[in-house]
Structure formats: structure tokens, C-alpha cells
Structure 1
Amino acid sequence: MSWLQGGPFLELSFIIKEPTKLETVISKMKEGNVKIEFHCPSDYIQQFYEGYLYDEDDPHSVKIHQITINLTVHTTRKRRALLLVEKISSGLLSYSICFFGDTTDAPEWNQPGVRHDELDEFISLLISLYRELKFSVGGIAIEEDTKAFFDVNETWPNENYNLTNLKFEDNLRKFHAVLIDQSLKNKLPDELYTSINNSGLLYRSSFN
């Protein structure tokens, strides 16, 4: 049986600047208020740095750096999750934690769903990760991650995936919550936000 089955998936995602090492991010994720277990051998992460060619027949093809790691996340109800890490440009990494996101449970897969009253647990997890990692932008949405905020049509990796190309207006309300670094405040539409840790701004959608 695969680690996570079915769908839709609730994605808790964030964008972080390189050269933050993957091992450093994993270590800090373990230090947050919510216990997160990582299930991967120690040498597995090296595959992320080695990468692979987008076109195996072209030695000059762009190199892809991505990895998927099985997690157990100890919210009130213990959950299986997948962590997808992708290098989207020379300066940015995308992290996405995928949970089984249906509103009803799937006992046949031992996967609890996400009830509306449980969303606050994931928002608390997003805040906890921000306090540890100080990522640039993070969010929580069904079948969507924070790469959607880039006003870029190219596939990644591509140097157009940089913080100057963030655009929030069109996609903000697709997210249950969005948390950005204070330095990006001028890119936000006129919304109500909560200050987090004196350096972040949390937006919560009133439509979810």
C-alpha cells in the first residue's frame, strides 16, 4: 500500500530561500510545536542534491532536483503525510506537505480526513513552521501550493521563479490561510492580517 492514498489532498506549503540545506529544514521542522516524524534512510536525501536530467538523452538538459519523503504528523489525530521538496530556481526551494484532505475519514486506508473544525490545527502548524524557518511565503489549500503565487508561465526550474514575481490577488482566496514575511507586505492586496512573531503576516480566508 502506498503511504498516502486517494484525495483530494490538503497541502501545507512554503517557499524558502537557498542556500538553506534540506537537512537544516528537516531539523527545524522537528523542533516545532507539532511532532513530525521523517521516514527515510540517511542517504536518501543525497538523491535530492544529485538530481537527474529532465531529458536523459540530452547531457545539456536542465537538471531536476526534487524528493518525496514519507511523514507522520502528530496533530490531534495522527496523520500520514508526504513532503515534496522541489528546487524551482537557483535561489528558491518549494516545500509541500500533503495530507489526505477529504472531509470524511478513510478507515480502509487508516487515513483521517480534515473536518472544518480541524483546519485551525493546520494553521497552527503553518505558524509553528514559520517561527522555526522564517520562510518567505507559506499557505494551506486544497490541491494547491504556494508556487501558484508566482506570476510565471514557465515550468520549473526557471529563474523567473523569484520573489519579485509573486502576485497574490488572483489566487489568495483559494487558500484557507497564507503567511508571508513582512518584507513582502507591499505585494499584498488590501486585506485584514494578523501579525505573527513581529515578522510575518497571516491572512485567513473568510470564504473557507
Structure 2
Amino acid sequence: MNWLQGGPFLELSFIIMEPIQIGEVISKLQNIRFKIEVHNPPEYLHQYYEGYPYDEDDPHSERIHQITLNLTVHTTRKRRALLFVEKISSALVAFSICFYGDADDAPEWNQPGIRNDELDEFICLLNSIHSELEFNVGCLALEEDIKGLFDVNEVWPNEKYQLSNLNFKDNLNKFQAVLISQSLQDKLPDAPYTRVNHSGLLYKSALRRLLRDEL
């Protein structure tokens, strides 16, 4: 059985600038106040660093660096999740934690859904991860990850994925929450936000509809 099945998926994602050690990031994820279990052995991370050619017929083509890890995340209800790690440019690595996001539970897959009153738990999770990792930008959305904040219509990896190409003005409405480093404050449109963790700014959507209503 697949670790995570069905859909839609609620995606908690963030970007960190290179150079970083993926193992160190994962270790720090396990230090936050929400318990996170990683079910892949440490040596599994070697696949990320080794990568694979973009063109399988051309071993000299650009190498893709990505990996998927199986997680269990202990919110109020224990949840399976997938962690996708993707090097989207020479400067940035994207992390995305995906949860089963339908409002209804899926007992046949042992997957609890996400009720509207549980959404704030994931915003708290985003905040807790920022407190530990101090990432540049993080966000929470249904069927959308951090790459949706960029004004880039190119397949990654691509050097256009730079902090200078973040576009909050046109893309903020895609997300339930966005948390950015204070150094990026000038990129925020006139939207209400809260200061968190001394160095972060948290925007929360005023839309509090059930996740199933957003499809």
C-alpha cells in the first residue's frame, strides 16, 4: 500500500537557501514541538546527493536532485505525510510536507481528513518549523506548494527560481498561510500579517471555508 493515498493534499512547504545539509534539516524537523517520525534510514539521503540525469538518454545532461521521505506527524490526530525535497535552482531547495487533505476521514487508508477547525494546527506547525529552521519563505495551501509563489513558468531546476522572483501580490490568494523572513517584508502587498518568532511575518487567509469547498 502507498504511504499516502487519494487526495486532495494539503501542502506545507518552505524554501531554504543553499548550501545546506538535508540530513541536518531533517534532524531539526524532529526537534520541533510537534513530533515528526521519519521512516527512511539515513543512508537513503544519498539518493538526493547523487541525483539522476534530466535526460536518461544523455548521462551528461543536468542532474535532478530530489527525494521523497515517509513521515508520521503527530498533530492532535496522528497523520501520515510525505516529505518532498527538491533542489529547484543552484540557490534554493524546496521542502514540501504533504498531508491527506479532504475534510472527510479515509478509514480504508487509515488517513484522517482535515476539518476546518483543524487547519490552525498546520499553521502552528508551519510556525514551529520556522522557529527551528528560520527558512526564507514557507506556506500552506491545498494542492499548491512553495513554487506557486514564483513568477516562473519554467520546469525546475531553473535559475529563475530566485528570491527576487517571488510574487506575493498576485499569488498570495492561493495560500491559507504564508510565513516569510522579515528581510522580505518589502515584497508583501498591503495584507494583514502578524510578527512571529522575532524574525518572521505570518499572513493568514481570511477565508476559513472547509477544504472541500475550495476545490
TM range (shorter): over 0.9
Determine the structure 1 residue equivalent to 2:213.
Answer: none
Determine the structure 1 residue equivalent to 2:197.
Answer: 197
List, as ranges, runs of 4+ consecutive aligned residues in structure 1 with deviation greater than 2 Å: none
- In the TM superposition, 1:107-122 aligns within 5 A as 107-122=107-122
Instruction: Output the CA distance in 1 between the equivalents of 2:122 and 2:139.
Output: 10
Q: SS of the counterpart of 1:44? A: helix
Instruction: Output the CA distance in 1 between the equivalents of 2:78 and 2:33.
Output: 14
- In the TM superposition, 1:61-80 aligns within 5 A as 61-80=61-80
Determine the structure 2 residue equivalent to 1:42.
Answer: 42
Instruction: Output the CA distance in 1 between the equivalents of 2:174 and 2:156.
Output: 22
Q: Which runs of 5+ in 1 are unaligned?
A: none
**Mapped contact 2:23–2:42 kept (Cα < 8 A):** no
Instruction: Output the CA distance in 1 between the equivalents of 2:66 and 2:78.
Output: 26
> What is the deviation of 1:181?
0.3
Determine the structure 2 residue equivalent to 1:55.
Answer: 55
**Mapped contact 1:11–1:99 kept (Cα < 8 A):** yes
- In the TM superposition, 1:168-187 aligns within 5 A as 168-187=168-187
**Mapped contact 1:173–1:207 kept (Cα < 8 A):** no
Q: SS of the counterpart of 2:43? A: coil
> What is the deviation of 1:116?
0.3
Determine the structure 1 residue equivalent to 2:84.
Answer: 84
Structure 1 residue 167 and structure 2 residue 167: aligned?
yes
**Mapped contact 1:35–1:73 kept (Cα < 8 A):** yes
Instruction: Output the CA distance in 2 between the equivalents of 1:136 and 1:39.
Output: 27
Instruction: Output the CA distance in 1 between the equivalents of 2:174 and 2:150.
Output: 14
Give RMSD over aligned pairs. Answer: 0.7
Q: Which runs of 5+ in 2 are unaligned?
A: 209-215
Instruction: Output the CA distance in 2 between the equivalents of 1:69 and 1:98.
Output: 11
Instruction: Output the CA distance in 2 between the equivalents of 1:7 and 1:171.
Output: 22
> What is the deviation of 1:170?
1.6
Instruction: Output the CA distance in 2 between the equivalents of 1:94 and 1:142.
Output: 17
Instruction: Output the CA distance in 1 between the equivalents of 2:164 and 2:171.
Output: 16
Identity, in percent, stands at 68
> What is the deviation of 1:169?
1.5
Post-superposition CA distance 1:85-132 (Å, at most 9, x none): 000001100000000000000001000000000011000000000000
Q: SS of the counterpart of 2:121? A: helix
Instruction: Output the CA distance in 2 between the equivalents of 1:46 and 1:190.
Output: 43
> What is the deviation of 1:153?
1.4
Which has the larger helix fraction?
Answer: 2
> What is the deviation of 1:64?
0.2
